[in-house]
Structure 1
Amino acid sequence: MSDVLLHLATTTEWRHHLATGAVVPSVAEFVHLSTPDQVTLPANRLFAGRTDLNLLVLDPSRIGVEVRFEPGVPTDPASMRFPHAYGPVPVSAVLAVVPYRGAGGFGPPVLPGVDPAGRQAAFEPSLVRRTATGEVPVTGGVAVRTDPVPASHKHNRLLLDGDTDAVTVAADAERSGTGRATLFGDRHACTAAALTGAGWRVRELVGMTGPAGGTCGRTEVVDVEALRPTWDAEWRRHGVDDADVAQLTDRLLLEERVLDLRALALRVDGEVVASAVLRIDGATADLDGVEVGAAHRGRGHGDALLADARAIAAGAGCDLVTLTAAADDHPRSWYGRRGFVEANRLWDAGRT
């Protein structure tokens, strides 16, 4: 059996699977799977022209039901046998969700590593691409735009994990109208330095990973709108214009459509003293926006929120929690003391 197996799903289908907890057989009595070498055949046969297709990257050891290798359709090569899962496949078997785009036909897939570092590196680009209203190829990656939230830098930028250089990044950012880029991986250290030299504002980040688990305490999962006043006040404190503040919460409502997003709130005497966003995507959860109110710091609320987030992730079937921290800020070491290890480097760059 292959190291990983793949299942094809549109973004809407995957969101439904997350809500129900499993990929279930549809017309046939089994869930159609493929190996990486096979997947172009069913993709081109069934999803030609689709721009919302994804590869669910499955750990065969987590599928939990019998997998038989059997013939496909009569037009497939006679020697080819496809894996068929005879029963519901839990979403906790999905290690990564990879946008699979087939303009002009689907080609061989490019899959991330399925170790913690690979899963961390794949999470954010996958989320942003699935949320975007449009993307175009650029050198080393893609440029994404998300029309409802133009003020969100996260959702309107270049996502670059392949070879490029500072001059090309600047030209592609100008051409796409984003003016921003994120460069993933150590290979881009020199490009990031060159962008800094060219006058761009560049911030080095570290991707970190830690295990899910534990028992949830006082943290609540609430509706995104319940935390809008808290988040709006925090964005204004950071100098965001009133005209843009609303979009920074609106973008979470867009993300809710493509994965399982949990808004977390920790209250003391009815007041929200700490909050965060936990994004659950199969077996991986990503923690973002951890914030403790200025008047409530130093009282252990951050520890309580982090511990509860890890417990909530485990309860949803995740074994891994990922996050991103600034390389030069104290949260990096704070998370390190709580069992998170550094897995990747990336750079967020924008025109000044």
Structure 2
Amino acid sequence: MVLHLIEPAAWREALREGAVRPPSLADAGFVHLSTPDQVHLPAQALFPGRRDLALLVVDPARLPDPVRFESGRPEDPAGMLFPHLYGPLPVSAVVAVVPYRPPAPLRLPAPGDAEARARAFFTSLPVRRAVGVGDVPGGVAVLDPDHVRSHDNNRLLVTEAVDAGTVEAAADEVGGNAGWPHRAALLAWAGAEPVAAELRGRGWETEELVLMAREAGRPASAHTSRVETVPQQQVHDFWARSWRQGLASLGADLERTVADLVGREHLNDRVVAVTDLVVREDGAVVASAQLRVDGATAAVDSVLTDPAARGRGHADALLARALELATDAGCDLVVLEASGDDWPRHWYARRGFRPVGSMWGVDRGA
């Protein structure tokens, strides 16, 4: 694989345009790339001290233009050659986008590793959309004080194995300083179940999040004519109704929590390409889904149907349309998270998604 460092805003623009076209393409005729052993050199030369960059993991086999290994800057180590792409970098050649936060170790998924690509997607997006990011043992804390009741936006994101005591101590320290009304973490390394079990014994709520994946492709019989693509604001009322039903036990804090959950959603579209899909009955939204595209990887999220409108194929139509759009965007892999103890994982399995790994969400009150 080869890599390309990019500022987040430039990557979001590339997702709109379909390709990365940095100034070097016009000035020198090529896009600067690096091998994993070299990427620190352009980072130090072009972005000294920056820890908010995105690192594009590129599959050379997907590049339509030649890559040539040539000399870099005069100050680079003698004899070192860098890959130069003589043409724009298609976003469909980018199999993963990971935060570049030296000196944290790089986790670079191989193009054919569906589990690694799914794990990279779901651990990268929260960091890239966060208002604040801080280092903690084994990973980072993501913070968003504007939506503090959203656990997804305010929690530890732990990608290296640590013990339960370390997770608990870090969550208490960060959550206490940030004023979180909860303590939450995503245990995102493979094999985190024993740590989740120990935290469960300490009074934490735990949930297995099954990573599922399938190849992109247009379904044989889609029946997608009922599906509309809409501005996200048109889904807000439907989301709010759905989340009120699921979170009714929160009592007095319900409305503030729902407001945070709805309000956070626009943040995703700042870093990946988001498409919101709905089905209406009598003009009212009764089902929705969201597609998030990040290079060659797409994720399906928020597939919801109003209880009164279930059994009519709306979710199937939404999923089929999402798969069509992912294919049209050049994605080869579609991923999602499903709760390990709930029925939707089996629904997705019947539609071609296979389990490829697990992560664990853990949370408790402050």
Q: Tell me the TM-score normalized by structure 2.
A: 0.91
What is the correspondence of 1:77-226 to structure 2 with a 5 Å cutoff?
Answer: 77-102=77-102, 109-114=106-111, 115-177=113-175, 178=180, 179-214=183-218, 217-218=224-225, 219-226=227-234
Distance 1:130 1:62 in 2: 25
How much is the aligned-residue C-alpha RMSD, in angstroms?
1.5
Judging changes above 3 Å, is the alpha-carbon distance between structure 1 residues 107 and 295 closer, same or farther for their aligned structure 2 residues?
A: closer
Q: 1:255 aligns with which of 244, 268, 271?
A: 268
- The number of residues matched between the two structures is 346
Structure 1: gaps (5+ residues):
none
Q: Secondary structure at the match of 2:312?
A: coil
Residue 210 of structure 1 contacts residue 339 of structure 1 at CA under 8 Å; is this kept in 2?
Answer: yes
Task: Calculate percent identity across the aligned residue pairs.
Answer: 49
Distance 2:22 2:10 in 1: 13
Deviation track 1:177-200 (CA, whole Å, cap 9, x = no partner) reads 151011124421111100000010
1:275 match: 288
Residue 23 of structure 1 contacts residue 89 of structure 1 at CA under 8 Å; is this kept in 2?
Answer: yes
Distance 1:316 1:113 in 2: 20
Residue 40 of structure 1 contacts residue 108 of structure 1 at CA under 8 Å; is this kept in 2?
Answer: no
Letter paired with 2:17 = T
Whether 2:13 is the aligned partner of 1:16: answer yes
Residue 218 of structure 2 contacts residue 324 of structure 2 at CA under 8 Å; is this kept in 1?
Answer: yes
Judging changes above 3 Å, is the alpha-carbon distance between structure 1 residues 186 and 32 closer, same or farther for their aligned structure 2 residues?
A: closer
Judging changes above 3 Å, is the alpha-carbon distance between structure 1 residues 77 and 185 closer, same or farther for their aligned structure 2 residues?
A: closer
Residue 40 of structure 1 contacts residue 107 of structure 1 at CA under 8 Å; is this kept in 2?
Answer: no
Residue 36 of structure 1 contacts residue 108 of structure 1 at CA under 8 Å; is this kept in 2?
Answer: no
Q: Which runs of 4+ in 1 moved over 3 A?
A: 106-110
Residue 137 of structure 2 contacts residue 162 of structure 2 at CA under 8 Å; is this kept in 1?
Answer: yes
Structure 2: gaps (5+ residues):
none
Q: CA deviation at 1:148?
A: 2.0
Q: CA deviation at 1:154?
A: 0.4
Deviation track 1:48-102 (CA, whole Å, cap 9, x = no partner) reads 1223211100000111111111100111122111111111111011110010013
Whether 2:64 is the aligned partner of 1:64: answer yes
Letter paired with 1:109 = L
Distance 1:228 1:157 in 2: 24
Q: Secondary structure at the match of 1:329?
A: coil
Q: Secondary structure at the match of 1:143?
A: strand
Q: Secondary structure at the match of 2:149?
A: coil
Q: Secondary structure at the match of 1:144?
A: strand
Deviation track 1:11-51 (CA, whole Å, cap 9, x = no partner) reads 11111111111011413311110111111110111111223
Q: Tell me the TM-score normalized by structure 1.
A: 0.95
2:39 match: 39
